[in-house]
Amino acid sequence: MQVVITGGCGFIGRRLALKLLEQGVLANPSGGMDEIKSLVLFDVGEPTPVIPSDPRLKIVTGDICSEADISALISPETSIVYHFAAVVSSGAEADFDLGMNVNFDGTRTVLEVCRKLETPPRLIFASSVAAYGGDMPDVIQDSTIQRPQTSYGVQKAMCELLVNDYTRKGFIDGRTLRLPTIVVRPGKPNKAASTWASSIIREPLQGQEAICPVSGNQAMWCLSPRRVVDAFVRAASLSGDEIGANRAIGISGTTYTVREMLDALVSVAGTQMLDRIRWEPDSGIQAIVSGWPTHFNPVRGMSLGFSYDKSMVEIIESFIEDELDGTFVS
């Protein structure tokens, strides 16, 4: 079996790739196990840090909007496509054309290439809770209507509908995971409006200063890197009958305010962590984040076996173990 990951050199794609290489197989919807003989990571650049060499692994660079590049990437041997390639939230809001080209047109390109295959592949698309917005109920239900208030959210919502329709037509066997904010991400801050949610944990643990641009009362629906990788592995094993006609699944997470995140940080690493956080309100970031929902009741996701972290302390401790070799700067 060949697995393709677009955006495969990014944070989630890289972690998923390492997980797939480690386990060597993926469960299929029939209940069996398929051996992963080839894993292809597609991105605009090489992975950082470098992924250890493996005879099953191939890294390809190119343009997600190029039909020629994607046609060379997704072949008749491809059984599963994980589609992560995207411009992040603030970037898509700041540059409308770039967001539309990569997030919408790029997804359409991937879907069209998959459509040409004789055997429809399983396509697993990474969406976001930013696909909601506007006048929302206090708790988002599986049936809540999507009214995104950012270009990024609109692009994700449109792609969700495309995945549904291409599946209905038999072009792909699609499934969409509507992701919470993933914390704690390693590396450096990026252009995502939610980047601060990782920074306020990650930087202090490494003895560095972090900037928090939002209110301490701002809440966020969160999931750890460990759990999101588990979710994408789980998604590949589900059958169409299990998922149903609506292929978009809200997966499980937990809601924390900024202050609750910092309380957990203090309980793990001490009060000195707070001295490394600088509060600099940013009305633009606050406006984007305030438009995202914060509380969910993902009944379908729970029933389909998607798990979540039990506490913010668990999330922080897993980051220290996975990314900091079990230590932090006190």
Active site residues: 152
CA–CA separation, 189 vs 89, rounded Å? 13
Gap between the terminal Cα atoms of the chain? 46
**Residue with tokens 């900037």, as numbered in its chain:** 211
User: Which two tokens mark 318?
Assistant: 């897993």
Q: What ranges make up the beta strands (E) of the chain?
A: 2-6, 25-27, 33-35, 38-43, 57-61, 78-83, 122-128, 140-141, 173-179, 181-182, 210-212, 219-223, 248-250, 254-257, 277-279, 296-297
Residue 25: what are its φ and ψ, rounded to 5°? -140, 160
Cβ-Cβ contacts under 8 Å for 215 (sequence gap 6 or more): 258, 281, 286
CA–CA separation, 35 vs 156, rounded Å? 31
- 8 Å CB contact between 170 and 209: no
Which of 18, 44, 48, 14 has the alpha carbon at shortest distance from 188? 48
- 8 Å CB contact between 89 and 47: no
CA–CA separation, 100 vs 200, rounded Å? 30
CA–CA separation, 156 vs 153, rounded Å? 5
Say what the alpha-carbon torsion angle 115, 116, 117, 123 is, to the nearest 10 degrees: -20
- 8 Å CB contact between 42 and 57: no
Q: Which residues pair with 4 in a beta bridge?
A: 40, 81
- 8 Å CB contact between 229 and 211: no
